[in-house]
Amino acid sequence: MYFDGYGYRGTSFEQRYQCFSASFIDKPHVETGDRIIMPPSALDRLASLQIDYPMLFEFRNDAVERVSHCGVLEFVAEEGMIYMPYWMMENMLLQEGDLVHVKNVTLPKGTYVKLQPHTKDFLDISNPKAILETTLRNFSCLTTGDSIMVAYNNKKYYIDIVETRPSNAISIIETDCEVDFAPPLDYKEPEKPVAPTKGKEQAVAEAIEPEAEPKFVAFTGTGRRLDGKSSNYQPQPISSAARPSDVKQSGGSSSSRYGHSQQSAGSSSVNGTRRSHGKLVFGQNAHRNPKESPKEASKESKQEQPGKEEPKFQAFSGKRYKLSK
């Protein structure tokens, strides 16, 4: 069945039109939404059909097989022509005067939509959520894969429709729809600081350095006597196997006064055995054989007494002077 000679068939609306941008009809407000302007004959045909409201349409560019969806704003266009926003013509790869196939459809109400701005500038707006809500009031439906245009502050922002639920094309008229944002297309994650790579030679040198470091050795300085003369005694180094408890025991068993010490018989035998293991022994017992008994040590000290003794240091032995002449 044909209607008015324009090829309307059956119980659905389906027709081919020449498309032109809104600038041809001098209606700039058309650019802010997704609604098109159709001829009056389309309204007559739609009124005679049992269609769902609001009126939604699917339009297709058969030359490149692109499909999108839109609503209708007015029925004042010339017969055989429709006017649509220019950004919609860019999505459909249409030129002025190209043929487009228009068909009425029913779309489910949307529950979720995911958007992705083309540039980071859109996120720099003081309140992008409010701007988006205001702009989407002029839209009737959204289609996955389309790019919509948001005009704000004399600047145009393009946003991709990444995902829609429950279907690839949804109606957003009088519905609560959850909106999610994906990172902008020109967004770059901040680069993590890269640690400087070490060369093989430097890594080998660092591995060898801890082994070449000298170990700590206690009591390695030179001794000084109270009388000012140099001491010929050199302490033996402590072995790495020495335990702190052994040093404390050996130190606690002897007492020193101006380089001379007295030691009990029991401690001398213990210190002698420790000397064999490289322990540090203080006093005159350091030069004694560990097997010597205390009696032999006392005899040696008596034999050394008759010998000449070195002059001892005497304080205040200089000349005396008076302050008066």
- The domains of the chain are located at 14-104, 112-181
- pLDDT tens, position by position, 76-100: 999 999 999 999 999 999 999 999 9
pLDDT at 53: 86
Give how far the C-alpha of residue 166 lies from the chain's centroid of Cα atoms, to the nearest Å.
35
Integer Cα distance of 151 and 118 in angstroms: 14
Q: How far is CA 54 from CA 13, 135, 172, in A?
A: 14, 18, 11
Integer Cα distance of 131 and 134 in angstroms: 5
Tokens representing residue 78 in the block: 């010339």
pLDDT at 272: 45
Quickly count helices (H) and strands (E) in the chain: 7, 14
User: What residues pair up with 152 in beta bridges, in sequence order?
Assistant: 155
Q: What is the full DSSP assignment across 266-318?
A: HHHHHHHHHHTTT----SGGGGS-TT--HHHHHHHHHHHSSSPPPPPP-TT-S
Integer Cα distance of 171 and 31 in angstroms: 19
Fold of the domain built from segment(s) 14-104: Barwin-like endoglucanases (2.40.40)
pLDDT lower than 50: segments of the chain: 1-9, 240-284, 286, 290-294, 297
pLDDT at 126: 86
Looking at the domain that runs over 112-181, which CATH code has it been given? 3.10.330.10
Q: Are strands 255-257 and 56-61 parallel, antiparallel or unpaired?
A: unpaired
Q: Measure the CA dihedral 68/72/73/76, to 10°.
A: 120
pLDDT at 209: 55
pLDDT at 230: 66
pLDDT at 268: 46
pLDDT at 217: 72
pLDDT at 185: 86
Give how far the C-alpha of residue 295 lies from the chain's centroid of Cα atoms, to the nearest Å.
78
pLDDT at 267: 46
Integer Cα distance of 11 and 119 in angstroms: 44
- pLDDT tens, position by position, 202-250: 655 666 655 556 677 777 767 677 776 766 665 565 554 444 444 444 4
The mean pLDDT value of the chain amounts to 75
